[in-house]
Amino acid sequence: MSYIFGVGGYLQNLYWGEPVNAEDCAELMEVNFHSSFDPDTNLDREEFTCWNGRSFAEPCLKLQQGGESVVFTEFAGWEIFNGQEGVQTLRITLEDKIREFQLILEYVVYEELDIISRKAILNNIGGPLMIENFQSAALSLPQLERPFIRYVTGKWAGEFVINDAPVNTGVFTMQSKRGMTGPHFNPSFAVYEEGATEQNGNVWFGQLAYSGNWKISVEKTIFDNIRVIGGMNDSDFFKTLGQGESLETPEFFFGFSNGGFGGMSRKLHRFQKAHITTASKPRRVLYNSWEATAFDVNVKEQMKLADKAASMGVELFVVDDGWFGERHGDNAGLGDWTPNAGKFPNGLGELISYVNGLGMDFGIWVEPEAVNPDSCLFRAHPDWIYHIDGVEPMQSRNQYVLNISLKVVREYLLGMLRSLLAQNNISFLKWDMNRMITDLGSCDGVDHRELWRAHVDALYEIWGTLRREFPQVELETCAGGGGRIDLGILRYADQSWPSDNTDPYERLFIQEGFTNFYNPGIMMCWVTDTHPSYRRSGRRDISYKFRSAMCGGLGIGSNIGSLTAEELSLYSSHIDEYKSIRHIVQNGRLYRLLLPGNSPVSAVQYISESDEESVVFAFLHSQKFGDPCKRLKLQGLSKNSRYLVRTAGSEESDRVYYGSTLMHIGLPLSLKGDFDSALLKIKKLGE
């Protein structure tokens, strides 16, 4: 893509989109004058708008000094250097002579991945500045005939729902004010021209790397200029910056695709795998009994489950909530991170050795940021929670939030985690956070409005420390399902938990929304017995459940203790199958062939990094009038190569076709009835 801006009176954006030759663009940076009634039309395209009482576009910076908010920045210089990871970085310096500060706009250009990241840094040279709003960037789009925006919204057990809406004149805002990323909105956007599809159309997209209060606004002005402004939410935001102090925004990543939403997703996935998510190994097939046993975990039952899990090929055995303190339900024990003596009389070691002896790794659930009032930790330190003096703090899921911005709390938690990980052979932490942050009261002289960000900084510090000190321990980001998934936390995470909704059909929708913006290599999906919030019969076909879950990182959450021998062997063969294709799913390129909302049949295809292999998962929700499925057209193959196509489970199905045949005529699908599925394995044979 090209992204062009320059100094035309002030720092203004000229263009973002299809590559163009920038050499002849300078003269296009003219100052438009509409009328004396609208003298400010050009300011619509300012690269970083400072509120000064004259620029009326949504501001990126608003501050006060001595009761005045007037800020006029001037271009003062630029430099290009190799920044983090040796990536080419452009740094623009703006200066405000009245207020004596420097504003740095930084652009990191991931050229071969076609992604740029922007952030801003404010260096205060003069007297104290009261910052009220400091956004990461404003991204100007070209003027579009019929602009639309795609974004994802959600709630518990219903995350990553895709929304498409026209971009109308005015300001549309998505945000979080709850101290955490989501799940109500996710900090990702795609603006597109009406008619864009999975394969076609121009899409301008971006993602914010921040796990706290954030805001992305899409502004379309009366002159049809569109800007996307993103960063930390200015709602309840405040920061005093003393002389010599600096403030840095989170990064805002953006790109452009002329290949529709599929093209956008593949660019984001490729970028995330190269620069954000840290996993160097494949996702292990895990077992977790949360949906089967809930809080009722104990060493004997877990050992029995471990036997079964190992026999079916599980690689990582995870004990979820309920293993510690007096945690028999969600109303007590949170905060007391020592194994419950009744459930684990010999500590965790006994189970861990047993699990390791069966050839599996061991992982465990924690929720360090929260505490039940009914816990030893809270009784000992009632002042460690966020609270407003004189106000009864709100409980949510019977818990409070610990003020981890306090050094003493942070160090306590790090100490607890260090000893848990040092004393036990734990190779995976599922880090949960099951409530929003409320009752933020000023504390130790720190204005409460600074604590929103302090919480996120403290969280990143703890995760960063764990990564450094325990590099062998993998981390999963979970927050009551998919409440904390963003490029900020994913820098430290190996995988994520998109939703507590493990219904294999509803998951197809969640997975579509998730993979629009995040890579399937970090998307954990479990095979379970029931939907967590309501019991449903039907939808029990084991292969359907497995294939839905194999579209990401596979986990098992069923009550495997009660499976029949026949079911157990089906589980084993699906797990084996997954292991043979997971490199394609986790590291390959994803093509969403048919979307679950558009027809009863949906399908996704993955192509390996080497281009030699591909897999297709197809799902039929329910057949009507005995209608046969339409032929399924594949994507991303080389048209003159021949491919061997095998339907999993039936070797006699082997057929050879040219890539062009598979992509333009398509494959017959013989799905029937309700909740049927197929897995196709495809190998390139050559030309």
Q: How far apart are CA 478 and CA 562, in angstroms?
A: 28
User: Site residues (CB under 6 A) for ligand GLA?
Assistant: 290, 320-321, 365, 432, 434, 478, 480-481, 497, 500
Cβ atoms of 1 and 109 within 8 Å: the answer is no
Q: What's the token pair of residue 196?
A: 């864009």
Edge-to-edge strand ranges of the sheet holding 613-622: 589-594, 601-607, 613-622, 674-686, 642-647, 650-658
CB nearer to ligand GLA: pick between 405 and 499:
499
* Long-range contacts formed by 122-126: CB under 8 A, 24+ apart: 122/61, 122/241, 122/246, 122/247, 122/248, 123/246, 124/100, 124/241, 124/242, 124/243, 124/244, 124/245, 124/246, 125/100, 125/101, 125/243, 125/244, 126/65, 126/99, 126/100, 126/101, 126/243
Measure CA 220 to chain center.
Answer: 27
| Under 8 Å between Cβ of 485 and 465 | no
- Minimum distance, C-beta of residue 157 to ligand GLA, in the bound complex (Å): 9
Q: How far is the CB of 290 from ligand GLA (least distance, A)?
A: 5
Of 524, 532, 535, 540, the C-alpha closest to 582 is: 524
CB 596 to ligand GLA: min, Å: 22
Which of 58/500 has CB closer to ligand GLA? 500
- CA–CA separation, 325 and 349 (whole Å): 16
**Minimum distance between the CB of residue 293 and ligand GLA, rounded to whole angstroms?**
11
What is the Cα–Cα distance from 485 to 390, expressed in whole angstroms? 34
Longest dimension (CA), the chain: 82
Q: Which is nearer to ligand GLA, 140 or 501 (CB)?
A: 501
Judged by beta carbon, residue 256 or residue 362, the one nearer ligand GLA is 362
Q: What is the C-alpha to C-alpha distance for residues 93 and 73, in angstroms, rounded to an integer?
A: 9
Contacts of 341 (CB under 8 A, 6+ apart): none
3-class DSSP state of 295: coil
Closest distance to ligand GLA from the beta carbon of 434 (Å): 5
**Amino acid in position 8:** G
**Paired tokens of 563:** 């499976």
When the beta carbons of 481 and 520 are compared against ligand GLA, the nearer one is: 481
Complex with ligand GLA: residue 150 or 327, whichever CB lies closer? 327
Question: Shortest approach of ligand GLA to residue 500 CB, angstroms?
Answer: 5
* CB 554 within 8 Å of CB 578: yes
Place of tokens 């494959």: 667
Nearer to ligand GLA, 140 or 558 (CB): 558
- Give least dist CB 478 to ligand GLA, A: 5
Residues 6+ apart with CB under 8 A from 618: 594, 601, 602, 603, 629, 632, 669, 671, 677, 678, 679, 680
- The span from the CA of 487 to the CA of 277, in Å, is 8
| Residue with Cβ nearer ligand GLA (321 or 512) | 321
Closest to ligand GLA by CB, 259 vs 498, is 498
Shorter beta-carbon distance to ligand GLA: residue 262 or 557: 557
Please identify the residue of the shown chain whose CB is closest to the bound ligand GLA: 321
Q: Shortest distance, CB of residue 156 to ligand GLA, whole angstroms?
A: 8
The H-assigned helical ranges of 363-406 are 376-380
- Collapsed DSSP state (helix, strand, coil) of residue 307: helix
CB 659 to ligand GLA: min, Å: 41
Min dist. Cβ of residue 475 to ligand GLA (A): 14
Based on CB atoms, which residue is closest to ligand GLA, 265 or 427?
Answer: 427
Our CB check for ligand GLA shows the closer of 14 and 478 to be: 478
Strand-pairing partners, residue 246, are 123
* The CA-based dihedral angle spanning residues 332, 337, 338, 343, taken in that order and rounded to the nearest 10 degrees: 50
Q: How far from 601 is each of 16, 429, 510, 569, CA to CA, in Å?
A: 36, 36, 16, 27
What residues are paired with 362 via a beta bridge? 317
Query: Residue 533 has which token pair?
Result: 């919030």
Q: What is the DSSP string of 107-119?
A: EEEEGGGTEEEEE
CB of 483 to ligand GLA, least distance (A): 8
Minimum distance between the CB of residue 484 and ligand GLA, rounded to whole angstroms? 10
Task: Give me the helices (H) in 596-658, please.
Answer: none
Nearest CB to ligand GLA, comparing residues 275 and 435: 435
Smallest distance, Å, CB 288 to ligand GLA? 8
Query: Three-state SS string across 425-440, please?
Result: CCCEEEECCCCCCCCC
Rounded to whole angstroms, what are the CA distances from 484 to 154, 269, 334, 521?
A: 12, 18, 20, 17
CB of 192 or CB of 290, closer to ligand GLA: 290
CB of 214 to ligand GLA, least distance (A): 21
Q: Which is nearer to ligand GLA, 154 or 231 (CB)?
A: 154
Least separation, in Å, of the C-beta of 385 and ligand GLA?
Answer: 19
How remote is the C-alpha of 273 from its chain's centroid? 12
* Residue placing its CB nearer to ligand GLA in the complex, 311 or 331: 331
Distances (CA, A) of 103 to 3, 83, 122, 532, 544: 20, 18, 5, 49, 54
- Min. distance of Cβ 524 from ligand GLA in angstroms? 10
